[in-house]
Structure 1
Amino acid sequence: MRPIPLTDRFVVGVAAEAIGKGTPLAVMPCVNTAYVRHPQFEQSIAVLRGAGVRVLYGEDGFTPHPPGRGGAEPYPWSLALDAVDDLVRDTAQGRRD
C-alpha cells in the first residue's frame, strides 16, 4: 500500500515541510477577489500565520484584483524579496518571530 501524500503540489509540499522543520517562510498569495471570497481562504491565511509563516497579503503584501483583470500594479516582487531578506537576516542573528 502506497502512503498518501499530504499534497501532490510541489510548492505546497515544500511549504508544509518548511513549517514542520521550523524553517522561516514567507508567502505572498497572488489571487483574485473571487478566490478570496471562498470561506476557506481567510482560514488558510490564519493557519499559516499561526504556524509562524510571514504572509504578505493585503495592505502589507499582495492586494487581490477582480477576476480576469489582473492587477493594475505589477506583482510586488520587492515586498517578497524584502521579506526573504528580513528572514535571512533574522535567522543569521538568531531571531525568530
Structure 2
Amino acid sequence: MSHFEVSRIDAGAAVFLFLTLMGVLGVVVGAATPVDRMLALGLCGVLFLALLLLAAVAAKVPLLDDVALVLAVLGAVALSSFASRPRTAAARERAR
C-alpha cells in the first residue's frame, strides 16, 4: 500500500502547477527589470505554495500546511519590502 494517496485530478493539477512554475522561472531569467523579476518570483512563490499544499494533502502531513503558511507570510513581506524601497536616481531616469 502506498503512503501517498493521489487522485488523477490531484496528479494533473500538480503537473500543471509544476509546468507553469518552470515557465515562470524562464520569465524570471529573461525579465528586463527588477520589478518584472520580483513579480514573477511572487508568482513562483504562489505556485510553489500550491504544490506544497497538494503534497500535504497527498501525504496527509498537516505540518506542511503550517510550513506553507509561514512561506506565504515571508513572501508577502518580501514583496511589500521590495515595493516600499526607495528608488535611486538612475532608476528614475530609466523610467522616463
The two structures have a TM-score, normalised by structure 2, of: 0.41
Return the structure number with greater strand share.
Answer: 1
Return the structure number with greater helix share.
Answer: 2
The two structures have a TM-score, normalised by structure 1, of: 0.41
Name the larger-Rg structure. 2
